[in-house]
């Protein structure tokens, strides 16, 4: 639903939230402004000959902070892309990377295009040309600026970008590290496609390990049986909803998409809806749940956890007061406007903020970038050695139990599980889980330790800005 009240833009919202946090800090004069502003935004306009005529496209790449390089951030394909939006998203990337200790500055890109209007071959031509324009200005470069997928893009687009960069830099041995989120057979890493949704799951698992935090949201127990509404069943929303329902026992009661929403208190099968969307282009007509033509209304339904995973500004001054969920996890970037954030905080809603909640993507992107630079798959050196040393222990346990007739045997399944050394996927999940736990703990420590910090978002900004400020201090600024 569009807000009737005039609200600040997305970038202004990010600045307002930033300002709220720095007011509680003691930064040297001028450093606050240095951190807040976006360093540069490049606009490119280029033509591509398609369907017998030249079409002109507008794209952006914004670099928010270069306190660490390369800078990192996704490329979005959507008609709503504009300079204000990419600058807001680039700023969020700076804080996100700092919070989860991914050694990057913040950047973001966007192309004003509706990807559904073009066929695959046309999209490839457009993407390659956009990549060319960015790469020739070092706005794609393994050591300076490394894009990734975002709304409207995925591993297919990242593979085209990587290939375009390689064609332009034929002797760069690290060319694959120029972009992340690539398919595994083109230099990607296992677990990247699902990483942001997986990170949302790990974030909620960590939240539910802290009784004090569960209480703060007025909830109790575990994730099991919690009623969840998700908006946007794309990459992030689909994986988050799938993992939470299949592995943690959560019940997906609502799914909101572009063409309306599905609702069923008994739970909705996420994979069945995803298959339906792929086949029919939307949720309309899905037979096993009630359909609401005005999807955004379902944001206001009673539930335990609300996961906005589509786009920014969907919870705004127009609907904030009617949002019933006691816990909101911002899987999308900027789904809650600054004004709505005030209303929700006043009501006691606990918000797990975007800069933390969707950081799983950049975390696994960081692993992919390291893999590309080291030119070796994670686990390749150690896996068999780990299995061999586990085998020694299992053999010894089995010998002891049979030699001395101790009367015990190994639990069924133990041997098989214990003997399996960690491959790339297991290591990626372990690294992601560790990152999400550590970052949550750093936020909640500030949230609970300081009387003047009332919410997780302010805590997240405090932790992130302190880290960015530390980098600037180390540079002598």
Residues found near ligand NAD in the complex (CB under 6 A) = 149-152, 196, 231-237, 256-258, 295, 309-311, 331-333, 358, 361
Please identify which of the residues 96, 108, 182, 467 carries the catalytic annotation.
108
Which CB atom, from 107 or from 453, has the smaller least distance to ligand NAD?
A: 107
Task: Report how far residue 21's alpha carbon sits from residue 458's, in angstroms, rounded to the nearest whole number.
Answer: 5
CB of 81 to ligand NAD, least distance (A): 11
Kind of pairing between the strands at 227-231 and 251-257:
parallel
CB of 390 to ligand NAD, least distance (A): 34
Task: Report how far residue 465's alpha carbon sits from residue 301's, in angstroms, rounded to the nearest whole number.
Answer: 35
Long-range contacts of 473-477 (CB under 8 A, 24+ apart): 475/67, 477/31, 477/34
Contact 319, 294 (CB under 8 A): no
Task: Report how far residue 286's alpha carbon sits from residue 277's, in angstroms, rounded to the nearest whole number.
Answer: 9
Q: Which residues on adjacent β-strands are paired with residue 290?
A: 263
Contact 362, 104 (CB under 8 A): yes
- Kindly list the distances between the CA atom of residue 94 and the CA atoms of 98, 99, 405, 433, in Å, as whole numbers in the listed order: 6, 9, 61, 21
Task: Report how far residue 98's alpha carbon sits from residue 91's, in angstroms, rounded to the nearest whole number.
Answer: 11
Task: Report how far residue 31's alpha carbon sits from residue 244's, in angstroms, rounded to the nearest whole number.
Answer: 41
Which CB atom, from 194 or from 206, has the smaller least distance to ligand NAD?
A: 194
CB of 166 to ligand NAD, least distance (A): 23
Residue with tokens 């550590």: 438
CB of 314 to ligand NAD, least distance (A): 7
Task: Report how far residue 93's alpha carbon sits from residue 366's, in angstroms, rounded to the nearest whole number.
Answer: 13
Which CB atom, from 258 or from 292, has the smaller least distance to ligand NAD?
A: 258
108 is an active site residue: yes
Which CB atom, from 106 or from 232, has the smaller least distance to ligand NAD?
A: 232
CB of 122 to ligand NAD, least distance (A): 18
- 3-class SS letters over 98-135: HHCCCCCEEEEEEEECCHHHCCHHHHHHHHHHHHHHHH
Which CB atom, from 206 or from 257, has the smaller least distance to ligand NAD?
A: 257
CB of 148 to ligand NAD, least distance (A): 7
Going by the DSSP 8-state scheme, the letter that residue 302 receives in this structure is -
CB of 141 to ligand NAD, least distance (A): 21
CB of 231 to ligand NAD, least distance (A): 5
For 311, the 3-state DSSP assignment is: coil
Going by the DSSP 8-state scheme, the letter that residue 255 receives in this structure is E
Q: How many CA atoms lie within 13 A of 404 on its CB side?
A: 9
For 305, the 3-state DSSP assignment is: strand
Q: Report the residue number whose CB is nearest to ligand NAD.
A: 234
Which CB atom, from 236 or from 315, has the smaller least distance to ligand NAD?
A: 236
Task: Report how far residue 238's alpha carbon sits from residue 207's, in angstroms, rounded to the nearest whole number.
Answer: 20
CB of 405 to ligand NAD, least distance (A): 56
Strand ordering across the sheet containing 40-50? 40-50, 53-65, 105-112, 71-78, 145-149
Residue with tokens 């509706």: 114
Which CB atom, from 115 or from 142, has the smaller least distance to ligand NAD?
A: 115
Which CB atom, from 236 or from 468, has the smaller least distance to ligand NAD?
A: 236
Task: Report how far residue 382's alpha carbon sits from residue 353's, in angstroms, rounded to the nearest whole number.
Answer: 36
**Backbone phi, psi, residue 50, to 5°:** -140, 145
Which CB atom, from 314 or from 427, has the smaller least distance to ligand NAD?
A: 314
Which of the residues are catalytic? 108
């Amino acid at each position: 639903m569009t807000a009737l009240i005039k609200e600040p833009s997305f970038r202004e919202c990010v600045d307002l939230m930033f300002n709220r946090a720095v007011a509680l800090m003691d930064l040297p004069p001028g450093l606050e402004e240095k951190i807040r502003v976006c360093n540069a935004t490049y606009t490119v306009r280029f033509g591509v000959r398609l369907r017998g005529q030249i079409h002109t496209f507008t794209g952006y790449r914004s670099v928010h902070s270069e306190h660490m390089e390369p800078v990192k951030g996704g490329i979005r394909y959507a008609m709503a892309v504009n300079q204000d939006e990419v600058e807001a998203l680039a700023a969020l990337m700076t804080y996100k990377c700092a919070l989860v200790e991914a050694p990057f500055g913040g950047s973001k890109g966007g192309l004003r295009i509706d990807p559904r209007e073009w066929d695959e071959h046309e999209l490839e031509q457009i993407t390659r040309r956009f990549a060319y324009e960015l790469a020739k200005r070092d706005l794609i470069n393994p050591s300076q600026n490394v894009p990734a997928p975002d709304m409207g893009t995925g591993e297919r687009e990242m593979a085209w970008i990587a290939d375009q960069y390689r064609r332009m830099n034929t002797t760069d041995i690290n060319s694959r590290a120029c972009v992340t989120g690539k398919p595994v057979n083109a230099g990607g890493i296992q677990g990247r496609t699902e990483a942001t949704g997986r990170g949302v799951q790990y974030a909620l698992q960590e939240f539910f390990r802290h009784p004090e935090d569960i209480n703060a949201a007025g909830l109790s127990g575990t994730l099991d049986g919690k009623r969840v509404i998700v908006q946007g069943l794309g990459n992030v929303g689909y994986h988050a909803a799938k993992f939470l329902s299949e592995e943690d026992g959560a019940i997906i009661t609502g799914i909101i998409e572009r063409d309306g929403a599905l609702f069923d208190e008994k739970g909705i099968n996420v994979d069945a809806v995803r298959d339906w969307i792929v086949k029919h282009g939307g949720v309309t007509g899905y037979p096993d749940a009630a359909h609401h033509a005005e999807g955004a209304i379902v944001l206001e339904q009673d539930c335990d956890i609300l996961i906005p995973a589509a786009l920014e500004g969907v919870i705004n001054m127009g609907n904030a007061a009617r949002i019933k969920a006691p816990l909101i996890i911002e899987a999308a970037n900027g789904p809650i406007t600054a004004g709505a954030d005030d209303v929700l905080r006043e009501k006691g809603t606990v918000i797990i903020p975007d800069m933390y909640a969707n950081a799983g993507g950049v975390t696994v992107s960081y692993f992919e970038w390291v893999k590309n630079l080291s030119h070796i798959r994670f686990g390749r050196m150690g896996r068999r050695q780990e299995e061999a040393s586990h085998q020694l222990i299992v053999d010894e346990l089995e010998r002891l139990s049979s030699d001395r007739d101790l009367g015990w045997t190994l639990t069924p399944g133990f041997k098989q599980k214990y003997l399996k050394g960690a491959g790339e996927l297991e290591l990626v999940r372990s690294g992601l889980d560790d990152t999400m736990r550590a970052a949550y703990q750093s936020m909640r420590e500030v949230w609970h330790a300081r009387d003047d910090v009332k919410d997780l978002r302010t805590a997240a900004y405090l932790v992130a800005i302190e880290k960015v400020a530390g980098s600037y201090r180390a540079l002598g600024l």
